C-alpha cells in the first residue's frame, strides 16, 4: 500500500491509501516520487473539473510535473525527472517525429493514467531523465514547465533582436520570458494582472511588466507605436488573446500556449486580419528535456520560482492555496531523496 492524493470531483481531492504500483515490466522502472509541481491545468481540473473539452470522468491522481528516484531499472539509485507523456509510437504523428501531437498519448494525471501525487509509480525507462547533482528535486520537477516554455518560444519563432510580449506571468509565462531572453530577444515585456507575479517576471529578466489595463498603451509607447514582433500568450483567456492581437505589430507571430477552461476561445478577428498575424498553437513540448537541463544549470533558477511547498498529506490545502494564485509555483513534497 501507499499514500496517494486522488481527485474524485471538482474540489474533492482526498489523501488516501491505495495499492502500490505493479511489479516492474521490461523497459519500465519503479520511481519513488520526490517533488510534484502544480500546473495551471491541474488547478483547472481541481477548480473547474477539466480543461477545454476534457473533463473528469473517473477519480485520478493528478500531477505531471514530477521528479523522483529510480528504484530499479537502468537508472536505479539515481534521481530522475519524469517526462509525463507516453505517446503511442505508432501513429502518423509519432512516426513523423511529432510525438507531442499523438492523438493516443497517455498523460500523467489525466483520464486513466495516475500522475505524480503518489509515493511510487511505474514509468517507461525512455521517459526518465537523469538529473545532474546541481539541480534539486523541485527543479527536476519544474523541467517539464521549462520544456513547455522552450517549445512555446520555438513555436513563436523568437529571433535575436525581437521585442517579445508575454501575456500572463504565471510560472509558464515567467519561464517563457526567461527562455525568450536566452533566445536573443532584445526586450521582454510582460502583461500580468497580479503585482507579485509582475515582480517575479522582472526578477527573471523581463524589461518591463504592466497590468492588462495599461499594457497596450505602454507597449505602443515602448515600441514607438510599432508593436512587438512576437507574442507568447500563457493565460488561456479571451482577454489575453485580445491583448496579444492589439499589442502585436503587423505581420507578427502569436503563440497561444495558455490552456482555457472552456472548449472555445474568441479573439478580435478583424484586427488580427488587418495585421496579417500568424497564430501558432502550442501543444505541450517536444524533445526539450536536454535543453531544459542545460538552461536550468546555466542561469534559469527553477528553485527561485517555487514560492510554496506542502507535504503530500496536505495536498488539498496545497491545491486550495495554488488556486488563489497568491504565490508563484506551488510544489508538493512527496518524499525527499
CATH number, position 221: 3.40.50.720
* pLDDT value for 171: 96
In Å, how far are 138, 241, 290 from 265, measured between CA atoms?
Answer: 33, 9, 33
* pLDDT value for 54: 67
Residue 289 included in any domain = no
Query: By residue range, what is the domain housing residue 326?
Result: 2-142+302-333
For 328, the grid coordinates are: 508563484
* pLDDT value for 50: 65
Q: How far apart are CA 46 and CA 27, in angstroms?
A: 32
Residue 293 included in any domain = no
* pLDDT value for 314: 97
Q: What is the pLDDT of residues 3-19, one digit of tens each?
A: 999 999 998 999 999 98
* pLDDT value for 52: 62
Q: Count other Cβ atoms within 10 Å, centred on residue 199.
A: 15
Residues 231 and 200 in one domain: yes
Residues 99 and 7 in one domain: yes
Residue 26 included in any domain = yes
Q: What is the pLDDT of residues 257-272, one digit of tens each?
A: 998 877 888 899 999 9
**Structural element, H or E, at residue 69:** strand 65-70
Decide if pLDDT at 187 tops 80: yes
Q: How many domains does the chain have?
A: 2
For 296, the grid coordinates are: 536550468
Q: How far apart are CA 74 and CA 133, in angstroms?
A: 18
Complete edge-to-edge strand list for the sheet that includes strand 228-233: 208-210, 187-191, 163-167, 228-233, 248-256, 278-281
Percentage of the residues of the chain whose pLDDT score is greater than 90: 83
**Mean pLDDT across 65-83:** 97
* pLDDT value for 303: 98
For 13, the grid coordinates are: 481531492
Q: How confident is the model at residue 131 (pLDDT cuts 50, 70, 90)?
A: very high
pTM for the predicted model, two decimal places: 0.94
Q: State the DSSP code for 304.
A: G
Q: Give me the chain's average pLDDT, please.
A: 94
Q: How confident is the model at residue 169 (pLDDT cuts 50, 70, 90)?
A: very high
Amino acid at each position: 500500500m501507499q499514500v496517494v492524493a486522488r481527485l474524485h470531483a471538482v474540489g474533492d481531492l482526498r489523501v488516501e491509501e491505495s495499492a502500490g504500483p505493479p511489479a516492474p515490466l521490461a523497459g519500465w522502472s519503479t520511481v519513488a516520487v520526490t517533488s510534484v509541481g502544480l500546473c495551471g491545468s491541474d488547478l483547472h481540473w481541481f477548480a473547474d473539473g477539466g480543461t477545454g473539452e476534457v473533463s473528469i470522468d473517473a477519480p485520478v491522481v493528478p500531477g505531471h510535473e514530477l521528479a523522483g528516484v529510480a528504484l530499479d531499472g537502468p537508472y536505479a539509485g539515481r534521481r530522475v525527472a519524469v517526462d509525463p507523456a507516453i505517446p503511442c509510437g505508432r501513429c502518423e504523428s509519432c512516426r513523423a517525429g511529432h510525438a507531442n501531437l499523438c492523438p493516443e498519448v497517455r498523460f500523467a494525471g489525466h483520464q486513466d493514467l495516475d500522475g505524480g501525487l503518489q509515493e511510487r509509480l511505474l514509468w517507461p525507462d525512455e521517459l526518465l531523465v537523469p538529473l545532474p547533482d546541481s539541480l534539486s528535486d523541485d527543479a527536476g520537477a519544474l523541467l517539464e514547465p521549462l520544456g513547455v516554455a522552450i517549445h512555446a518560444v520555438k513555436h513563436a519563432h523568437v529571433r535575436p533582436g525581437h521585442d517579445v510580449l508575454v501575456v500572463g506571468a504565471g510560472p509558464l509565462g515567467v519561464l517563457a520570458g526567461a527562455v525568450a531572453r536566452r533566445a536573443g530577444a532584445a526586450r521582454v515585456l510582460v502583461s500580468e494582472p497580479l503585482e507579485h507575479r509582475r515582480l517575479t517576471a522582472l526578477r527573471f529578466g523581463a524589461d518591463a511588466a504592466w497590468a492588462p489595463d495599461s499594457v497596450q498603451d505602454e507597449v505602443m509607447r515602448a515600441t514607438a507605436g510599432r508593436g512587438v514582433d512576437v507574442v507568447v500568450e500563457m493565460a488561456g483567456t479571451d482577454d489575453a488573446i485580445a491583448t496579444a492581437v492589439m499589442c502585436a505589430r503587423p505581420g507578427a507571430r502569436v503563440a497561444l500556449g495558455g490552456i482555457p477552461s472552456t472548449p472555445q476561445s474568441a479573439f478580435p478577428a478583424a484586427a488580427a486580419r488587418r495585421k496579417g498575424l500568424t497564430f501558432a498553437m502550442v501543444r505541450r513540448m517536444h524533445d526539450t528535456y536536454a535543453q531544459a537541463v542545460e538552461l536550468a544549470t546555466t542561469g534559469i533558477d527553477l528553485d527561485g520560482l517555487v514560492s510554496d511547498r506542502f507535504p503530500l498529506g496536505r495536498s488539498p490545502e496545497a491545491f486550495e492555496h495554488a488556486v488563489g494564485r497568491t504565490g508563484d509555483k506551488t510544489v508538493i513534497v512527496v518524499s525527499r531523496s
